[in-house]
Amino acid sequence: MAKQVTWTGVFPAVTTQFHADDSIDFAATQKVVRALVADGIDGLIACGSVGENSALTAGEKREVVAAIKEAAAGKVPVITGVAENSTKAAETYARDVEKLGADGLMLMPPMVYSASPREIVAFFKSVAAVSDLPIMIYNNPPAYRNDVTPAMVQQLTDVDTIVAIKESSGDTRRFVDLQNLIGDRFQLFCGLDDVILETGTLGAVGWISGLSNVFPVECHRLFTMVREGRAQQAMPLYRWLMPLLHLDARADLVQCIKLCEQIMGRGSERTRPPRLMLEGAERALVEGLMKTALETRARIAEIA
């Protein structure tokens, strides 16, 4: 049985850094992690969607988890995404990262296959049965075509190691529906950047974020204000961040976040194919948003 955990706060979905030859730059990835920890984030997601999990080999995923865990140095929890095509592969990964010292699993439904509700629930229970690590269920139907509904979540309440839900459907009503069905059985996390104020006021205790890789201090300040019941005071900060928060809802969010990271000097925009770095109008759009944000950043510095 997993130990009792309380995951709260801002958890950046850490980017995986690459060399020009497409190999993983572990030193640069660890540099990203150390900077985020120094900036006061509350936890880290290794090998999530923004970490390009699906573009990594099985061995690379494990190496990235180990590198991020080492860089975090026990200061914050490191949760790793589990994005596998089969139950057996997900079970093997869960066992392996537990041995590597991961603090938890962020478990997606089976990748590629559009599974039935019964199959998804069975998949979650099977993976939970092979590891003592606490688990966060990850629901992102726009990206992964499988919707983990509140009714399905209700079927997981008897699995002791499942402790949290990352809700990325974009439908903020889901938070209320989940609370009505399961009360406070699971910790609820916002998984979509541009609804953080709304979901925070509805009870989200954590935020798994893409843009917090770019502006960790401002994102942490925003989340803290919302959780403290000061959403109205946080509105100027939310409005300032919103054009960039929308990037997290795009299909090319990884490229967008990495380009923003590079502009801030926090990482490289290099992605692993089939993802390609932004060009033309799309690149100009992101660069323009960042230019505006940086030019007006001083205006929101005193909001707290």
Kindly list the distances between the CA atom of residue 177 and the CA atoms of 62, 78, 151, 188, 199, in Å, as whole numbers in the listed order. Answer: 35, 28, 9, 12, 12
Give the separation between CA 295 and CA 203, rounded to whole angstroms.
Answer: 33
C-alpha span between 94 and 193 (Å, rounded): 27
Q: How far is residue 208's CA from residue 107's CA, in Å, rounded to a whole number?
A: 13
Q: Which helix (H) or strand (E) holds 60?
A: helix 58-72
The residues facing 197 across adjacent strands are none
| Active-site residue identified among 69, 166, 238, 258 | 166
Give the span between the Cα atoms of 186 and 164, in whole angstroms. 5
Residue holding tokens 């990482």? 267
**Tokens encoding 196:** 């953080």
Q: Is 138 a catalytic residue?
A: yes
Please report, as a single letter, which amino acid is at residue 170: G
- Any binding-site annotation on 41? no
Among the listed residues 93, 138, 144, 238, the single catalytic one is 138
Q: Which regions of 62-203 does DSSP assign to beta strands (E)?
A: 78-82, 104-107, 135-139, 162-167, 187-190
C-alpha–C-alpha distance, residues 122 and 117, integer Å = 9
User: d(Cα 72, Cα 38) in Å, to the nearest integer?
Assistant: 10
Q: Give the Cα separation of 302 and 266 in Å (integer).
A: 23
- Spell out the residues 6+ positions from residue 209 whose beta carbon is closer than 8 angstroms to its own: 10, 11, 12, 13, 193, 196, 219, 248
CA atoms within 13 A on the CB side of 4: 1
Give binding residues as ranges. Answer: 208
Catalytic residue annotation: 138, 166
Give binding residues for pyruvate as ranges. Answer: 208
